[in-house]
């Protein structure tokens, strides 16, 4: 699962709105400990041309992002997208509609403050509209901002939408150190704030001090870390597929006493694979190295029996290649992973020949999580094993009596998790460009890993799956629901 969430470390609402007397502005007010954040524009309340504004400041922990990237928990720049997510707080006041919010990086440090009052603005502290801290004022009242990058999100006729904006550019600049991390400002966009002709009152979001676990502001990192190990569905090259589709990617997992470790002699460098023929009964290679095929640099032209593999993540290596079947396809292949004269691992592959179908595939499956527990605890990363088979599968008596049914591999599958009590989507399907909830698979079938820190303790949750159906070119949600509780 490719999701990491980073909570806000401080937030505040700053404003130059008039107090109740409509003559004194609340420019020294602070609401750093309030459980909501607020942005608005009020036009012509105190006079025919008066303008009142409210803006949101919010900052996140990029030190933790840096630590996670160094530990391999976050991909390198360009392989991960960061989304600012803030959640609408319903209220009894009017709600602006058909407007946009602007998001830009703050250029100077600021204090959160300890104010609470968002109604009468009776609490004074810093930061506020005039001052960033107790010792430093803003260069420009209302907060100092970088010109770029700038982001925006449009809100429609409903107005109660959540905020979800891709802010990857600024986050990567923070992580690279090209801009210091002073957080973000969220405010009404453009001339609707600078030269308004009408009021936009009032948009509220939950703050970091909110009692609601899933409503606090976060930066959500999304990335596709699914491992699609073709060892369990390895196909010979076929004219029915393109050159790229004929490539099979297989993996080698270097477990040392149950823990994935990089191979000392390889580290994050190159590793090599040769494939040998064998028989269905042999436990070791019985033939010579086979000729491998590639459409790129996976296989050396000078040494077509050797595929060049590489490091994927800690202790995990992969290699991609294709093999053309002989007149009589070989029943079993053996992949030998090595570097120089040192062999690290020999695996087994049972290849198949790709064939077409004489009728449309309905792609209906029965799904089961084979290792589902009733209760999980926070602070763990759990692996869920997913067993799937065609719904119309009809095993013979011999099959049932002599073999464990093989799990059908779902090449393109996704999962979501929702809280049962109110059906709140905690992790939505990631079937778009980031594929952050894509199912992995290996020779044993599909699986996904779940960081239980993403879930609030004391609640029950449900898992649903959606599989891509090539017949209709879309994902179809499966009927099964799998429930568990987090403590």
Q: At what angle do helices 168-176 and 62-70 cross, to 10 degrees?
A: 70
* Averaged pLDDT, 190-212: 97
Question: How far apart are alpha carbons 333 and 344 in whole angstroms?
Answer: 17
Residues 337-363 have a mean pLDDT of 85
**Measured between alpha carbons, how far is residue 144 from residues 14, 38, 210, 481 in Å?**
12, 18, 26, 49
pLDDT for the residue 154? 98
The helix or strand, by DSSP H or E, that contains position 77, with its residue range, turns out to be none
Asked if omega into 165 is within 30° of 0 (cis), the reply is no
Domain limits, the chain? 3-222, 230-349, 365-486
Q: With 90 as the cut, is the pLDDT of residue 12 above it?
A: yes
The three-class DSSP label of residue 170 is helix
Beta bridge mates, 396 = none
**How far is residue 103 CA from its own chain's centroid?**
21
The pLDDT, as a whole number, for residue 402 is: 44
Structure token digits, residue 461:
């949750």
Average pLDDT of 57-64?
96
Give the other-Cβ count within 10 Å of 7's Cβ.
12
HSE at residue 370, side-chain half, CA atoms within 13 A, is 12
- Residue in 207, 114, 203, 197 with CA at minimum distance from that of residue 153: 203
Q: pLDDT for 121-180, tens place per residue?
A: 999 999 999 999 999 999 999 999 999 999 999 999 999 999 999 999 999 999 999 999
pLDDT digit string, tens, across residues 420-478: 999 999 999 999 889 999 999 999 999 999 999 999 999 999 999 999 988 788 999 99
Quick one: pLDDT at residue 284?
Answer: 60
pLDDT at 473: 84
Checking if the pLDDT of 360 tops 70, the result is: no
Which of helix, strand or coil describes residue 397? helix
Show the tokens assigned to 349. Answer: 């592959």
CB atoms under 10 Å from CB of 347, counted, come to 16
pLDDT of residue 353 exceeding 50, the answer is yes
Q: Is the pLDDT higher at 238 or at 300?
A: 238
Q: 365-486 adopts what CATH topology?
A: Immunoglobulin-like (2.60.40)
Strand, coil or helix: 17: coil
Report residue 73 as tokens: 């928990």
Residue 396: pLDDT band with limits 50, 70, 90:
low
Q: What is the pLDDT of residue 374?
A: 98
| Residue 481: closest CA among 396, 336, 369 | 369
pLDDT at 153: 98
CA 445 to chain CA centroid, Å, is 22
């Amino acid at each position: 699962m490719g999701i990491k969430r980073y909570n806000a470390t401080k937030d505040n609402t700053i404003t130059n709105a008039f107090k109740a007397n409509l003559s004194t502005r609340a420019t020294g007010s602070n609401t750093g400990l309030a459980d909501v954040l607020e942005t608005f524009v009020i036009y012509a309340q105190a006079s025919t041309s008066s303008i009142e504004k409210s803006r949101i400041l919010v900052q996140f922990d990029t030190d933790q992002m840096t630590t996670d990237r160094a530990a391999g928990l976050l991909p390198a720049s360009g392989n991960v997208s960061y989304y600012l997510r803030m959640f609408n707080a319903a209220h009894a006041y009017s709600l602006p509609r058909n407007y946009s919010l602007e998001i830009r990086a703050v250029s100077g440090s600021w204090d959160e403050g300890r104010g609470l009052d968002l109604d009468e603005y009776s609490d004074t502290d810093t930061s506020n509209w005039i001052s960033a801290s107790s010792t430093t004022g803003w260069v420009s009242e209302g907060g100092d901002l970088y010109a770029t990058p700038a982001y925006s999100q449009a809100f429609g006729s409903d107005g109660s939408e959540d905020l979800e904006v891709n802010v990857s550019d600024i986050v990567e600049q923070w992580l690279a150190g090209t801009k210091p991390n002073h957080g973000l400002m969220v405010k009404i966009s453009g001339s609707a704030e600078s030269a308004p002709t009408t009021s936009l009152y009032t948009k509220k979001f939950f703050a970091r001090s909110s009692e609601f676990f899933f409503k606090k502001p976060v930066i959500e990192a999304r990335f596709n870390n699914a491992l699609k190990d073709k060892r369990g569905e390895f196909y010979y090259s076929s004219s029915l597929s393109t050159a790229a589709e004929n490539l099979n990617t297989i993996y080698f997992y270097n477990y040392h006493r149950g823990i994935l470790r990089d191979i000392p002699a390889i580290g994050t460098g190159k590793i090599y694979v040769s494939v040998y023929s064998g028989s269905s009964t042999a436990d070791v290679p019985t033939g010579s190295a086979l000729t491998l095929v590639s459409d790129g640099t996976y296989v050396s032209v000078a040494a077509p029996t050797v595929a060049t593999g590489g490091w994927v993540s800690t202790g995990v290596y992969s290699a991609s290649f294709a093999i053309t079947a002989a007149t009589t396809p070989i029943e079993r292949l053996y992949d030998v992973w090595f570097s120089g004269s040192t062999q690290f691992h020999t695996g087994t592959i049972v290849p198949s020949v790709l064939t077409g179908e004489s009728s449309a595939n309905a792609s209906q499956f029965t799904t089961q999580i084979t290792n589902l527990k009733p209760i999980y605890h926070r602070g763990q990363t759990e692996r869920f094993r997913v067993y799937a088979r065609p719904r119309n599968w009809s095993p013979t008596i011999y099959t049932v009596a002599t073999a464990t049914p093989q799990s059908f591999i779902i090449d393109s599958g996704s999962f979501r998790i929702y809280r049962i009590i109110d059906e709140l989507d905690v992790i939505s399907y990631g079937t778009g460009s980031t594929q952050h909830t894509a199912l992995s698979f290996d020779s044993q079938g599909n699986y996904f890993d779940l960081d239980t820190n993403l879930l609030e303790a004391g609640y029950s949750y449900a898992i649903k799956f959606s599989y891509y159906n090539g017949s209709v070119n879309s994902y179809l949600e499966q009927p099964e629901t799998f429930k568990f509780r987090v403590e």
